[in-house]
Amino acid sequence: MVKKDHRSDITIVGAGMVGSAAALSLARAGFNITLIEANEIPQWSAEEYYLRVSAISLASEQLLEDIGVWQQIKNRRVSSYEHMRVWDASGTGRLEFDAAESGVAYLGHIVENNLINDSLIEQLQGMSNVRFVIGVRLSSMTWLEEAVQLRLENGDEIRSTLVIAADGDNSSVRQLCGIESSRHDYLQTGIVARVRTSLSHNSTAWQRFLPSGPLAFLPLADGSCSIVWSADQQRASDLLSLNDEDFSKQLADAFENQLGSVELLSPRVAFPLMLANANSYSAERVVLLGDAAHRVHPLAGQGVNLGFQDVIDLTSILREASQHQRGLADPLYLRRFARRRRADASLMLAGMDGIQRVFASKQQFVCKSRNLAMDLINQLPVLKQFFVNRALGN
Ligand SMILES: Cc1cc2nc3c(=O)[nH]c(=O)nc-3n(C[C@H](O)[C@H](O)[C@H](O)COP(=O)(O)OP(=O)(O)OC[C@H]3O[C@@H](n4cnc5c(N)ncnc54)[C@H](O)[C@@H]3O)c2cc1C
């Protein structure tokens, strides 16, 4: 437990994947860190698959390698994918990406979210410059001359030179700073579940664009798949109310039986799908990372990858600030970070939103054009490489 008036160089609010990665990256760079998390950290178990998984790009893998957790994650349980297949239910458009064509061994890995979290926390626990405050919520912030005073729900207080908001889409820090967020509700739900298919997933990340939203099958290490089925709210609620057998049949059908018959192995969990972009990623003595700054449609699996890129850029900018004897919360450096990351994330958000809208359109000429565009990309190596590079995080 912290004592009243505890002091810290950097306080990170939120120990999700992004907050924990930021803590480890900045602790390795020599800063004193306090990590505040409202909930217990979900533990990874070798016996049971965690339902939430992420497609981790090569750039994110490199970050995890650099901060010393990738080997452990890899040794425990990951699934590499070497191919991506994307096709349109309302036409003949098809995109096929292969690692070998791009001169890499794989395009990315599918990893359980709690495995990433657990491995980061394990490393952090061994570090003398990291202090944990778990199971307590931040309640208010007061700006002082040389620091920000954070007040927790249990009454404890922390004085911090810099505060990092990694507290997710509903970020309290963002709200306490008065930063608005531009939001668009897709009025869609993403249904997540684990399934076994009668045919091999062939180390491929599959995605079919249906008129009601994209359906993805992501390959897992034991041969099963994690699915994300995005659908309009009514359709999703109908799907959630089906019994397991009927749901599995509809799922196989919606996927054109590409992987044969489907057997449901887990409960189905639903997530509301939203686009959000904070109007600024920094304020006085504060920066925003991960979903606290930006939230993207999961169709291209980019959310946490964008968050990890925030971590890479923030670590590099804070290192630079300290090399130039500038304070940790120097507004010039914080604003530079915020501008750079917002430009990058906005591009990704606009791209994903554009793809979502183009595939949601039922207008004939839009359907024809997107199918033509897919075929064009598929046949032009330069264009194809551009999309592969984005997926790899280059
Ligand atoms: C269906 C689905 C599939 C996805 N698939 C992918 C994928 O394949 N690849 C990918 O890159 N991304 C994917 N994403 C996105 C990815 O899951 C998110 O971008 C990522 O989890 C965000 O991490 P975060 O650490 O920023 O936020 P969060 O995971 O939301 O963590 C925030 C943390 O802050 C804590 N917190 C909140 N408020 C407070 C407070 N006041 N005080 C203290 N603590 C607080 C919370 O308890 C939480 O632990 C997917 C998302 C969905 C919905």
Q: Which of 260, 239, 240 lies closest to 196, judged by CA?
A: 260
User: Which residue's C-alpha comes closest to atom 14 of ligand 1?
Assistant: 303
DSSP 278: E
Ligand 1 atom at minimal distance to the Cα of residue 19: 25
Q: By mean pLDDT, which of 28-37, 190-199, 294-303, 305-314 is the weakest? A: 294-303
CA atoms of 90 and 377, how far apart (whole Å): 18
- Residue 151 CB contacts under 8 Å (≥ 6 apart), including other chains: 138, 139, 140, 141, 142, 157
Ligand 1 atom at minimal distance to the Cα of residue 302: 11
Write out residues with Cβ below 6 Å of ligand 1.
13-19, 36-39, 54-55, 137-138, 166-168, 172, 190, 192, 228, 271, 290-291, 298, 301-305, 307
pLDDT 10s digits, 141-199: 999 999 999 999 999 999 999 999 999 999 999 999 999 999 999 899 999 999 999 99
Output the six-digit token pair for 243: 């019994």
The beta-strand segments (E) located in 135-203 are 138-143, 148-152, 157-165, 181-197
DSSP 53: E
* pLDDT at residue number 391: 61
Helix (H, G, I), strand (E, B) or coil at 314: helix
Mean pLDDT of 326-331: 92
CA atoms of 105 and 100, how far apart (whole Å): 6
User: What's the gap in Å between 257 CA and the centre of ligand 1?
Assistant: 31
Ligand 1 atom at minimal distance to the Cα of residue 41: 49
User: What's the gap in Å between 16 CA and the centre of ligand 1?
Assistant: 6
**Mean per-residue pLDDT of the chain:** 91
Mean pLDDT of 329-345: 96
User: Which residue's C-alpha comes closest to atom 15 of ligand 1?
Assistant: 303
User: Which residues partner with 130 through β-bridges?
Assistant: 33
User: What's the gap in Å between 347 CA and the centre of ligand 1?
Assistant: 20
Residue 203 buriedness (CB in 10 A; 0-12 / 13-18 / 19+) = middle
- Residue 154 CB contacts under 8 Å (≥ 6 apart), including other chains: 136
User: What's the gap in Å between 96 CA and the centre of ligand 1?
Assistant: 29
Buried b (16+ CB within 10 A) or exposed e, 1-26: ebeeebebbbbbbbbbbbbbbbbbbb
Domains of the chain: 6-59+114-182+275-355 (3.50.50.60)
User: What's the gap in Å between 388 CA and the centre of ligand 1?
Assistant: 24
Best of 60, 134, 140, 167 for a ligand 1 pocket test (most atoms within 8 Å of beta carbon):
167
Q: Are 177 and 25 in contact (CB under 8 A)?
A: no
Q: Are strands 286-288 and 157-165 parallel, antiparallel or unpaired?
A: parallel
Is pLDDT at 352 greater than 80 in this prediction? no
Question: 17-28 vs 58-66: helix axis angle to the nearest 10?
Answer: 50
> For tokens 């300290």, what's the residue?
322
Helix (H, G, I), strand (E, B) or coil at 205: strand
User: What's the gap in Å between 200 CA and the centre of ligand 1?
Assistant: 30
User: What's the gap in Å between 212 CA and the centre of ligand 1?
Assistant: 24
Mean pLDDT of 274-278: 94
CA atoms of 13 and 309, how far apart (whole Å): 18
DSSP 144: -
Percentage of the chain exceeding pLDDT 90: 75
Is pLDDT at 388 greater than 80 in this prediction? no
Is pLDDT at 358 greater than 80 in this prediction? no
Output the six-digit token pair for 56: 């981790």
Percentage of the chain exceeding pLDDT 70: 87
Buried b (16+ CB within 10 A) or exposed e, 123-155: bbeeeeebbbbeebebeebeeeeebbebebeee
User: What's the gap in Å between 360 CA and the centre of ligand 1?
Assistant: 25
Residue 382: which pLDDT band, with cuts at 50, 70 and 90?
Answer: low
pLDDT 10s digits, 48-101: 999 999 999 999 999 999 999 999 999 999 999 999 998 877 666 778 889 998
What one-character-per-residue DSSP string does 221-240 give?
TTS-EEEEEEEEHHHHHHHH
Is pLDDT at 271 greater than 50 in this prediction? yes
User: Which residue's C-alpha comes closest to atom 30 of ligand 1?
Assistant: 168
Residue 209: which pLDDT band, with cuts at 50, 70 and 90?
Answer: confident
Residue 2: which pLDDT band, with cuts at 50, 70 and 90?
Answer: very low
Helix (H, G, I), strand (E, B) or coil at 172: helix
CA atoms of 76 and 53, how far apart (whole Å): 14
Best of 291, 294, 306 for a ligand 1 pocket test (most atoms within 8 Å of beta carbon):
291
User: Which residue's C-alpha comes closest to atom 12 of ligand 1?
Assistant: 303
Ligand 1 atom at minimal distance to the Cα of residue 17: 25
> Which residue type, as a one-letter code, is found at position 153?
E
- Residue 40 CB contacts under 8 Å (≥ 6 apart), including other chains: 134, 135
* pLDDT at residue number 366: 64
User: What's the gap in Å between 227 CA and the centre of ligand 1?
Assistant: 18
pLDDT 10s digits, 118-129: 999 999 999 999
Mean pLDDT of 231-236: 94
Mean pLDDT of 276-282: 97
User: Which residue's C-alpha comes closest to atom 4 of ligand 1?
Assistant: 298
Is pLDDT at 21 greater than 60 in this prediction? yes
Q: pTM for this one?
A: 0.93
Mean pLDDT of 310-334: 94
> Which residue type, as a one-letter code, is found at position 211?
P
Mean pLDDT of 104-115: 95
* pLDDT at residue number 377: 64
Higher pLDDT, 372 or 82: 82
User: What's the gap in Å between 168 CA and the centre of ligand 1?
Assistant: 5
